[in-house]
Chain A
Amino acid sequence: MLEVKDISARVAAATSPLRIVGGDTKRRYGHVDESLELLEMAGHAGILDYHPAELVVRVRAGTPVTELVDTLAKENQVLAFEPPVHGEASTIGGVISAGLSGSRRPYAGAARDHVLGAGVVLFDGEYREFGGQVMKNVAGYDVSRLICGAYGTLGVVADVSLKVLPAPEREVSLALEMPLIEAQSLVESLTRRVSPLSASAYAAGVLSLRLSGLESDVADEQLAIGGEIIDDVYWRQLDSLASFQGASQIWRLSTHALAPVEHDYDRMDWGFAQRWLVDPATAPTSSQGHWTCISNTSPSFGSMSLLEQKLHRNLKQVFDPNGIFNPGRLGEGVA
């Protein structure tokens, strides 16, 4: 068992940069320097505090995502942002540090929207707590959301407090064969009104939808939409990028639902706001949105303005003045 004091000691004693890993399932995201000394977080695991009626769970970073999800399921609760699971070893600290959200993202919010607080070990080895375990908290700058998606470049996430929600009474997943234009129009019409839509993906001429909510609402909508029932496991596989296994470059475009379709995408999900290209002949470009390349050999995140880069460097300097946490992970000149 790895304690906070052990993490603190490691950080305080570090004379060279550290590569922070949970289950090490996201090494294709951003620039990973394999030569760095590892700070392994998997030993810092376990649920610290969970009161279902509070809709909050506080959990150590090294806890496997599947273990956390199973614990919540026993109380009929969920992490509404639907953390992607990139492998059995995947930890909640890794998901939060990478700021990754699953299929429910457009309909229930992102990982960061569910972060209420975090305990982090910073440059000096000291453990600090930001945010808390309550739903509303505006005391101090929102550091706990800032570290979500920072890929460990600001500090070591030791524990996080997350908002949880009641599980939907009923879920059903449907597949409908239809042309792109009809699929776009159906998803738009479901988004334009209150509907139980909780996931949507379009690939190879098939629109897949998931409906979640009250039994009666789901049944009514299912009747209206039609289609063929598919296994809900579809969405977990989709979020884990399992179908892209073996690809050397997975390109992800984050844009908005109505952006022009400029490529022959391998898949579009998140209501057409997230689009995927596997091993394209050349690096793709788009008129709207930004590309991430998930790859062992040539990973990249979307570009940012010089001004944003400066703000990133300034913040990095505050949290990690000695440059020991995952240096270069977000890209050269950023953090």
Chain B
Amino acid sequence: MLHMTPEFLRALKRIASEVILEPERLAVYEADGLTAKKQRPGVVVIPETTGQVQRITALCHEHQVPLVARGAGTGLSGGAMPHHEGVLLVMAKFNQVLAVNERALTAVVQPGVTNLAITHAVEDIGLYYAPDPSSQIACTIGGNVAENSGGVHCLKYGLTVHNVKEIKVVLPDGELVTIGGPGFDTPGYDLLALMHGSEGMLGIVVEVTVQLLPQPPEVAVLMAAFSEVDQAANCVADIIASGVLPAGLEMMDKLAIEAAEAFIGAGYPTDAQALLLCELDGTSTGLQILIEKVLGVMRGSGAIDVQVATDAEQRAKLWQGRKAAFPAVGRIAPDYYCMDGTIPRRELSSVLSSISSLSNKYSLAVANVFHAGDGNLHPLILYDANDNDQLERAEAFGSAILQLCIDKGGTITGEHGVGVEKINEMCIQFDSLELEIFHGIKAAFDPVGILNPGKAVPTLSRCAEFGAMHVHVGEEKFPELDRF
């Protein structure tokens, strides 16, 4: 990697009008949603056109300068953390919904459009965009593609990868390629799937065509409170086993319930040890059948309190506590560290009990708020970042949770991505043979290695240092590549 020369910076200013070099303005961009990892960017560029993105990328390619793309910076794994000697490409000005095709049920949007803005643009004609990460009011669709974002409704409606038909991508050498198309498939490899969740390592998304869905005619939210965590966890499995596929199925533990209740007052029973929120949708007759079925399962699982909300206002109130759970937990501790492991549903109760033991071991409280239907956990570890010892314990605790998820046949990240945060744990989940393939894929798109260096896939030497993987001398593939 070369440094940003004065010549490089002059060329950059010729391409884009908004180039930021002042330290106090650069500071704004030093972290994404993972604020524990900070780095001041070398320079921030805010392009306005695809042509500018192509020229900036080609320039970085020519000068071998690192390039990190950033949407709204809401990511929780440090995927958009800048490079101190590189360019941070801020896609904020790509904020237009370009077209809505009401008959084809698609919308063409620029990558800086927020997730929720897509739904706002089409709700008057009875449509919506299904994936709904909790940051949907601020997070952008470009970032959603990069992270393959999920959300509350992905149990039934899928992740970002299931709801995007076509993307336009600037490759690391500045070339523009269209991936996917208006039909249901394209010839050759599924590059559309490969780009989803690639964390800005393979290309920069400059346009996205999303699939829209008709709004369900009727929606209900069921809340069930339990006096035992085990009962709630088993209820999740029983609902799925009953043949009902809820639109969303969320769980909160006692600490999360209390924090949310103190913050929002959603009407959750604070004496409960665990709470389930189950969203069902369908036609009016169909919905009644589903509600009865799920209520039966909830009561059979030992729920001590059950509520059903069918009108929009009541539903919003029940959801409000869940949606505000993160900031609510933020009020009861100076800092929290949000994990994202996913496990098979049948392990829910044993993993929750292990997390509780780990909480004692590390002397840090943990609140659990998560997508129970998908087995996607979000333990929030409470700590005080001003206390170095607590920060270290929080990180060790988090790492132990991820190890636990892998041991139970799960994964270290369900929807937040690896970024810089979980790079060491990648060495546990994958061995050197698999990591080599990841490095190969990266090199197939980005042989020079300018895009988002150091993220998502650890180098083999890093894993060797981390101690989780043995690297045989001479086994490393693509030795010609720089490993960041």
Contacts and interface: CB of A to CB of B under 8 A. Distances in A.
B177 A305 contact: yes
Nearest to B408: A134
Given A112-B190, A191-B214, A311-B444, 19 more contacts: A51-B344, A53-B345, A134-B374, A134-B411, A136-B411, A138-B411, A140-B456, A145-B193, A146-B190, A146-B193, A148-B190, A150-B190, A166-B245, A216-B289, A217-B283, A255-B183, A303-B187, A314-B443, A330-B187
The 5 A-B pairs of least Cβ separation, nearest first, read A318-B440, A314-B444, A145-B193, A136-B414, A302-B187
Nearest to A100: B185
A13 interface: no
B220 interface: no
A307 interface: yes
A132 B187 contact: no
Contact of B376 (A129, A136, A213, A334): A136
Contacts of B155: 135
14 contacts: A106-B184, A112-B193, A138-B148, A139-B430, A169-B243, A216-B286, A254-B185, A257-B104, A274-B184, A307-B175, A317-B444, A318-B443, A319-B440, A334-B188
A112 B188 CA distance: 13
Contacts, number: 245
A53 B126 contact: no
Contacts of B193: 112, 142, 145-146, 148
Contacts of B459: none
Given A146-B193, A220-B285, A311-B445, A138 B413 contact: yes
Nearest to B289: A214
B191 A311 contact: yes
B16 to A, nearest CB: 24
Contacts of A136: 150, 154, 159, 342, 371, 374-376, 411, 414-415
B103 A139 contact: no
Contacts of A270: 184
A256 B289 contact: no
A255 B240 CA distance: 35
A149 B194 contact: no
A8 B285 CA distance: 54
A253 to B, nearest CB: 9
Interface stretch (B48-56, B330-338, B382-390, B431-439): B431-439
Interface stretch (A201-209, A239-247, A287-295): A287-295
Contacts of A265: none
A307 B173 CA distance: 11
Which of under 10, 10 to 19, 20 to 34, or 35 or more describes the interface residues of A? 35 or more
Nearest to B162: A113
B188 A140 contact: no
Interface of A: 51-56, 76, 99, 101, 105-106, 109-110, 112-113, 122, 124, 126, 128-130, 132-143, 145-146, 148-150, 154, 165-167, 169, 188, 191-194, 213-214, 216-217, 220, 254-259, 270, 273-274, 288-290, 292, 301-305, 307-308, 311-312, 314-315, 317-319, 330, 334-335
B342 A137 contact: yes
Interface residues of B, number: 88
Contact of A302 (B178, B186, B240): B186
B455 to A, nearest CB: 12
Contacts of B429: 139-140
Interface in B383-440: 409-418, 422, 426, 429-430, 433-434, 437-438, 440
A134 B198 contact: no
A142 to B, nearest CB: 5
Contact of B437 (A101, A274, A305, A318): A318
Contacts of A273: 183-184
A128 B434 contact: yes
A304 B180 CA distance: 11
B126 A137 contact: no
B426 A139 contact: yes
B244 A290 contact: no
Contact of A141 (B154, B217, B374, B441): B441
A291 to B, nearest CB: 9
Given A122-B437, A135-B342, A318-B440, A146 B189 contact: yes
Contact of B183 (A129, A140, A290): A290
B265 interface: no
Interface string B147-186: 1101000110011011000000001000101110111111
B464 to A, nearest CB: 18
Given A138-B413, A311-B444, A51 B245 contact: no
Nearest to B429: A139
Given A292-B187, A301-B188, A143 B437 contact: yes
A150 B188 CA distance: 7
A133 B159 CA distance: 16
B262 interface: no
B197 A142 contact: yes
Contacts of A133: 344, 409
Contacts of B364: none
Interface in B339-397: 342-346, 371, 374-376
Contacts of A154: 189
B197 A138 contact: yes
B196 interface: yes
Interface in B80-128: 103-105, 126
Contact of B346 (A54, A76, A130): A54
Contacts of B243: 76, 166-167, 169
Contacts of B282: 194, 214, 217
A184 to B, nearest CB: 10
Contacts of B457: 140-141
Contacts of A166: 243-245
B295 interface: no
B187 A135 contact: no
Contacts of B138: none
B177 A193 contact: no
A165 to B, nearest CB: 7
Nearest to B103: A258
A191 B105 contact: yes
B414 A138 contact: yes
B216 interface: yes
